Amino acid sequence: MPDDPPVPENPRAAELKALLAEIARNEPGFFRSLVADVFKTPFGYRWEDHPGVTIGKDVRIHPAARIELGSRSKLTIGDGSSIGPMAVLRPKDFHMIIGPNCSVNDYTMLYDNLVLGRGVRIGAHSLIIPENHTFATRAKYIYEQPCEFKGVVFEDDVWVGSNVVVLDGVRVGKGAILAAGCVVTRDVPPYTIVGGVPARVIKERPL
List, for residues 33-78, the tens digit of each pLDDT value: 666 555 554 444 567 778 889 999 999 999 889 888 888 889 999 9
User: Does residue 97 carry a pLDDT above 90?
Assistant: yes
In the annotation, is 95 catalytic? no
Average the pLDDT over 154-170 and give the result: 97
Calculate mean pLDDT across residues 108-120: 95
What percentage of the chain exceeds 90 in pLDDT?
A: 66
* 18 compared with 98, residue with greater pLDDT: 98
Q: Report the C-alpha gap between 107 and 64 in whole angstroms.
A: 10
At 80 the pLDDT is 97
pLDDT number for residue 43: 47
Choose, from 50, 62, 95, 133, the residue flagged as catalytic.
Answer: 133
pLDDT digits (tens, 9 = 90+) for 117-146: 999 999 999 999 899 999 999 999 999 999
